[in-house]
């Protein structure tokens, strides 16, 4: 019995030592730094699009540790289309809105949702669909 214990003990010592290294890590305290939260904002608080199809371009700011992001919008009325274009160096970029004659004039509150760096962030803004030729952006968001 004594020879079996001696043969097993060195193996157990190594298992315990490897387990300790795995728990602590090599050369570190074993703790991970917290993940920096992402954020998204639309530079313009109110976007006005005309039913005449004139594109309106709005800047979207995405603060993330990643250079890529998935951007989605919900709450756009029927007849209003959007297109997202990221910049070359960051996920921030532009949203382009166009409305056609089937878009019902009125005020809407769409939500932009961004997935980046394994996280999600959302923001809402006001979208006004107007008849005729009036289009553009109003009221910059407060800094």
Task: Say whether pLDDT at 55 is over 90.
Answer: yes
Predicted confidence (pLDDT) per residue in 74-108, tens digit: 999 999 999 999 988 889 999 999 999 999 999 99
Task: Say whether pLDDT at 57 is over 50.
Answer: yes
From the list 108, 109, 116, 21, the residue with the least C-alpha distance to 61 is: 116
For residue 31, the model assigns a pLDDT of 52
For residue 34, the model assigns a pLDDT of 73
**pLDDT band at residue 121 under the 50/70/90 scheme:** very high
Task: Say whether pLDDT at 115 is over 90.
Answer: yes
Query: DSSP assignment of the chain, as one string?
Result: -HHHHHHHHHHHHHHHHHHHHHHH-SSS-SPPPPPPPPEEEESEEEEEEETT---EEEEEEEE-SSS--EEEEE-PPTTEEEEEEE-SSSS-EEEEEEE-TTSPPEEE--EEEEEETTEEEEEE-EEEEESTT--EEEEEPP-
> pTM higher than 0.85 for the full model?
no
What is the average pLDDT value for the chain, to the nearest integer? 79
Mean pLDDT, residues 33-60: 92
For residue 32, the model assigns a pLDDT of 64
């Amino acid at each position: 019995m004594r020879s079996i214990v001696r043969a097993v003990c060195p193996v157990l010592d190594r298992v315990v030592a490897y387990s300790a290294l795995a728990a602590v890590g090599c050369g570190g305290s074993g703790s991970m730094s917290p993940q920096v939260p992402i954020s998204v904002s639309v530079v313009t608080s109110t976007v006005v699009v005309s039913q005449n199809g004139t594109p309106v371009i709005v800047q979207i700011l995405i603060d993330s540790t990643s250079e890529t992001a998935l951007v989605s919008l919900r709450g756009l009325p029927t007849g209003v289309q959007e297109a997202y274009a990221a910049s070359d160096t960051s996920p921030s970029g532009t949203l382009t809105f166009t409305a056609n004659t089937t878009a019902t004039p009125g005020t809407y509150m769409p939500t932009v949702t961004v997935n980046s760096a394994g996280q999600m962030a959302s923001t809402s803004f006001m979208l006004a669909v107007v008849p005729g030729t009036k289009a553009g952006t109003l009221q910059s968001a407060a800094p």
